Amino acid sequence: MALTALKRQPAEQLATDALRDAILTGSVKLGERLTEVELADQFKVSRGTVRLALHQLSSDGLVVLKPYSGWSVITLEPRDMWEIYTMRGGLEATGARLAAEQLDEDGARQLEQAGELLFEGVRNAVGLDEIKRRDFALHRCIVELAKNSRLSHHYRLVEQQVRLFLSTTYSENYKEAVIEHHRPIVEAILSRNPTLAATLSADHCMSEGNRILRASEETDDRT
Amino acid sequence: MALTALKRQPAEQLATDALRDAILTGSVKLGERLTEVELADQFKVSRGTVRLALHQLSSDGLVVLKPYSGWSVITLEPRDMWEIYTMRGGLEATGARLAAEQLDEDGARQLEQAGELLFEGVRNAVGLDEIKRRDFALHRCIVELAKNSRLSHHYRLVEQQVRLFLSTTYSENYKEAVIEHHRPIVEAILSRNPTLAATLSADHCMSEGNRILRASEETDDRT
DNA sequence: TTTTTGCCGATTGTCACCAATCAGTAATAA
DNA sequence: TTATTACTGATTGGTGACAATCGGCAAAAA
């Protein structure tokens, strides 16, 4: 008798996750219109269930509802990118500060591991998607080390929005910068320097934000 | 013809707001159990509507759902207070920094006004509730000056949680400290010093958090 | 032509009913 | 007695039908 507990998922949760995933992977586009009946048909659940899912995602800031009129996936203007990256910077700075203040043996090990995984990936030139994944994982690791569930929650929401336009914005040649951007942050935390860790994190996000903002402006110019 | 647009509110919104208000004012207690049917009866709406409202408040972190079992208002341990005040500090620091960076004539006027309203209230000894209101208003004013809708949104959520245990934690004798705590922050922003504004804001929240944490520990000791 | 009015299809908003699940209790068997 | 099973009430999970609202279009009036 050593069976793993199988977790039932209520349909509302499944629908929410499925739709969220569809939005984040870009299989439903930004600004696309969503109707409750159509989604209900596709997911093979009732409208009420879809409705609940949509409201959840609305709280997460991924879709918006115009009353009695319709749902649609949010759109992202340059202004939104600024907002999102500013938020990310602020939250990560808080996270990095707390992480550095409270770092223990176990946390140090996790952080080193997450960092090394990213750096190793860059050196061995694994796929760009994989690098992105490890990049996100490192940032998330830092935030988790703050041991603040509310911070983690808010950060997850912002991270989602980052993914949202990262799925449209590409960049092959920023790989080299990854190591030099992240290494100092990791080391500041490992050496338990809260102020430095916070400053570096905020700056890193700002420069990332500016880089992506510039990239998207170039794209806009072409059109 | 100069009639103000009357805004119809869907029942879901009304229910959400009413329940939120009931929780924040303490007319439903922390940890109290909530059933969908009972709420539906009281609000004179259907269960589906209440259900939607509860899910919304769940996203806001005010209530929690144990699947197939029941809803209840969240409870707040000392650990939660630490989390909340840490968050608040981080967000306000970000807000204050941005406010100082982008301050314009109009913003400066609003900030001075909000500050003066609070300080004047303290000097003239208006009610404690009124002081709290003006205190919140000043903090909110600063965050709004950052002109970042996402920051405002996240801050509102955290502010709600602050109210949640401020409704149970009292303190008559912190009035004197109010001016000396807030004045420097306001002036740092007015003098457009982002770094100082951020630091002061974070420190202010931390000390507030510690004060309330101590107060609640004393209360716990008595029981 | 221009403005107003009424209509219609699409979509969300609301409701009442039934199903699934949980937690505690009583009945039953060892 | 003790452990297992079956039952029961309460609560959430899910569905289909109906009502309210919106936006655009066509008909009618000016």
CA triple A68-A69-A75, angle to 5 deg = 130
Long-range contacts for A122-126 (Cβ within 8 Å, ≥24 apart)?
A: A122/A175, A122/A176, A122/A178, A122/A179, A125/A175
Domain B78-222 in CATH 3.40.50.80? The answer is no
Q: Is-contact B178 B89, C-beta < 8 A? A: no
pLDDT the model gives residue A223: 45
Least Cα separation, residue A135 to chain B (angstroms)? 23
- Asked whether the domain spanning A78-222 has the same topology as the one spanning A11-73, the reply is no
**Residue A158 in contact with partner chain B when CB distance is under 8 A:** yes
Which residues of chain A fall short of a pLDDT of 50?
223
- Tell how strand A70-73 and strand B63-66 pair up: unpaired
Distance, CA of B69 to C1' of C24, in Å: 13
CA A210 to C1' D23 (Å) is: 40
CB contact under 8 A, A148 and B87: yes
CB nearest to B67's CB, from A10, A56, A67: A10
Q: How many of the other CB atoms lie within 10 Å of CB of B198?
A: 29
pLDDT, tens digit, 9 for 90 and up, residues B85-105: 999 999 999 999 999 999 999
CA atoms within 13 A on the CB side of A12: 14
Q: For A118-146, what is each residue's pLDDT tens digit? A: 999 888 878 888 988 999 999 999 999 99
A52 CB contact with strand C at below 7 Å? no
CB of A62 less than 8 A from some CB of B: no
Residues of chain B predicted below pLDDT 70? 1-2, 167-174, 216, 218-223
Closest CA to A201 of A118, A107, A132, A98: A98
Handedness of CA B210, B124, B180, B197 (dihedral sign): positive
A93 chain-B contacts, CB cut-off 8 A:
90, 94
CATH topology of domain B11-73: Arc Repressor Mutant, subunit A (1.10.10)
Residue boundaries of the structural domains of chain A: 11-73, 78-222
pLDDT tens-digit readout, B185-196:
999 999 999 999
SS3 A99: helix
